[in-house]
Amino acid sequence: NLILIPGICFISSIIVQASSTASSKQQTRISIVPTASLNINLSETEHISIVACCAAINAEKTKAYSVLESMANDVATLSTKASWETIQSALKIKGQTDVSVDASGKCSGCNRSLLSLELNDIQREQLLNQIDSLVVHQELLQVIPDNNTPLAPDAIRRSNQWKVFKSWLHQRQAEDGPIDFVIDGANVGYFKQNYAGAPDHVDFHNIDSVLQHCLSAYLPRRKSMATSQPSTSVQTKFRNRVLIILHARHLAEDRMPYYAHEIVKRWRSQKQIYSCAIKNNDDWYWLYAAVAAGDNCYLVSNDEMRDHHFDMLGQDSFLNWKERHLTKFDFGPFQRHGSRPVDLSLPPPFSIRMQRAIDNPDIWHVPVQFNLSGQDSNALSLAAPQINQSIIIQRPDITQVAWLCLGCCPVADEKEEAGNT
């Protein structure tokens, strides 16, 4: 009875063994159903075994597509080109191997632009609701309490302060438009200040440098499932819309350095900063603001968000969002006038993962990531069971990714092939 399958290890052994014997192929095709209902993600090896079974039993194309879509949810990039042949066999569609995808996401095989795979409206709303619930309850709790659980006084206070923030955020975006950059002020302000004798206040010059850079930064166009054309709004604005989130303790009069007062005054006059109150976790504020801003907002922070409270968010949606929006930063050497150049590592305008074309369901793009020696690398697969590894954002170097453009070369009918021989 498949309902009694206890866990991923047992499922894995069944799938791999079944794929090696033709008599078990039909059973394996059915065995993919309970994995989703049990909320169990499979690795690349297990997914490829299922794909091989589809090919062996000559499964209909719609079933093979369903299997590939399930694989795309669990595995970002493949670790070996050998999987390409298995996928083509299962779908009965040939493709062009080793096609190039340029920095804008355009495929040389089909001339289509790859998509930025974003959260849909339901996933975004669920993630925002999860953040909502965690804000008003103690982060030490390992589960989100039931809605009937009475709130402690501190939780009531945080809840009221949180409502003020959400109202302010909604009003700001209604008046000025969606935010393009959210800056984790403390993370930027404490950049490389963990040395002996370092000041206990944030570096307001560093924060302001990042702000000024973001205001004028060029934002690459993205093409997502929600629109068949990349957004052009970022090309017509005079300046980007930027928001700094900084905890109130950093803005206390007795803690701010003398030079910071004029900087903060300017931020406030232009609605470029929000300070969360004492005993609030500023992480939730910048995360909520960045998620709520939509598909074209970037979160500027070197924080990998690996603390225990981030583990309480839905992993699939959260990790997908983080991969597409977390933007790392760095500073160059000091210039003569005292400023420092800012380097932002924006995510590419497309997702480096398996994906299906919007306009043609028969066209897939399947990436394989290589190590620095140019060889297939099993260790680089971002399979879901490697949760601890996948939490860290390690975007592949575009030059180290090979692509299969599947669907450009349909397989000729067997009768036609026989007649031509």
* Residue with more model confidence, 213 or 232: 213
- Mean pLDDT for 54-76 is 80
For the ranges 103-112, 164-173, 268-277, 388-397, the lowest mean pLDDT is seen at 388-397
For the ranges 14-18, 51-55, 140-144, the lowest mean pLDDT is seen at 140-144
- Mean pLDDT for 140-169 is 74
Does the pLDDT at position 40 exceed 70? no
Distance CA 10, CA 3 (A): 12
Does the pLDDT at position 393 exceed 80? no
Structure confidence at residue 390 (pLDDT): 38
Distance CA 268, CA 246 (A): 12
Mean pLDDT over each residue of the chain, to the nearest integer = 77
Angle value at C-alpha 82, between 80 and 83, nearest 5 degrees: 80
Q: How confident is the model at residue 94 (pLDDT cuts 50, 70, 90)?
A: confident
Structure confidence at residue 373 (pLDDT): 45
Helix orientation angle between 61-74 and 44-56, rounded to the nearest 10 degrees: 180
Helix (H, G, I), strand (E, B) or coil at 350: coil
- Mean pLDDT for 45-50 is 83
Distance CA 342, CA 377 (A): 33
| C-alpha dist (Å) from residue 264 to 141, 180, 267 | 35, 20, 5
Q: What is the pLDDT of residues 2-17, one digit of tens each?
A: 333 334 444 445 555 5
* Residue with more model confidence, 152 or 344: 344
Among candidate residues 209, 152, 171, 226, the one with its CA nearest the CA of residue 343: 209
Structure confidence at residue 32 (pLDDT): 46
Structure confidence at residue 156 (pLDDT): 83
Polymer length in residues for the chain: 421
**Plot region of 323 (φ>0 → left; ψ -120 to 50 → alpha; else → beta):** alpha
| C-alpha dist (Å) from residue 174 to 66, 91, 109, 177, 365 | 40, 47, 42, 6, 37
If residue 189 lies in a helix (H) or strand (E), which one and from where to where?
helix 185-189
Does the pLDDT at position 328 exceed 90? yes
Helix orientation angle between 282-292 and 153-176, rounded to the nearest 10 degrees: 30
For the ranges 105-119, 244-258, 356-370, 379-393, the lowest mean pLDDT is seen at 379-393
Structure confidence at residue 372 (pLDDT): 41
- Mean pLDDT for 69-87 is 85
Structure confidence at residue 33 (pLDDT): 47
Query: Considering Cα of 229, then 235, then 241, then 245, what sign does the dihedral take?
Result: positive
Q: How confident is the model at residue 209 (pLDDT cuts 50, 70, 90)?
A: very high
Structural tokens at position 136? 């008003």
Q: How confident is the model at residue 292 (pLDDT cuts 50, 70, 90)?
A: very high
Structure confidence at residue 3 (pLDDT): 35
Letter for the amino acid at 360? Answer: N
- Mean pLDDT for 36-62 is 75
- Taking residue 169's Cβ as centre, other Cβ atoms within 10 Å add up to 18
